[in-house]
Amino acid sequence: MGGLFFHETPPDNYRDWLNSDYTFYDTMAPELHELGVLCEPDSREPWFICEAHSKDDSLTRTLAAFEQAVETTIEKLKDS
């Protein structure tokens, strides 16, 4: 289980976490859905990895989709 936090520095406390870049996550989550990665649309919710996610198959595809979604999100937010 883990979570995503987008900011220049990692959080040290709850107030730091509140300053996460929610716009980035909110823009990226639908991109991940389009690429077949089912993630929680709310950035405050954790992500889960289980034994069904093998390194050679689904985890590799998930990481590739994540890279693509981050690139797309950066481009979308540049234009706004």
pLDDT digits (tens, 9 = 90+) for 26-65: 999 999 999 988 888 888 888 877 776 666 667 788 889 9
Instruction: Please state, in angstroms and as integers, the Cα–Cα distance from residue 7 to each residue in 43, 46, 55, 77, 78, following that order.
Output: 13, 17, 28, 15, 16
pLDDT value of position 28:
94
pLDDT value of position 11:
85
Lookup result for tokens 């980035």: 24
**pLDDT above 70 as % of the chain:** 91
Asked if 6 contacts 20 with a C-beta cutoff of 8 angstroms, the reply is yes
pLDDT at 76 over 90: yes
Instruction: Give the helix/strand (H/E) hosting 31.
Output: helix 22-34
Q: Which has more confidence, 53 or 74?
A: 74
Instruction: Please state, in angstroms and as integers, the Cα–Cα distance from residue 11 to each residue in 4, 35, 40, following that order.
Output: 11, 28, 20
Single pTM value for the model: 0.78
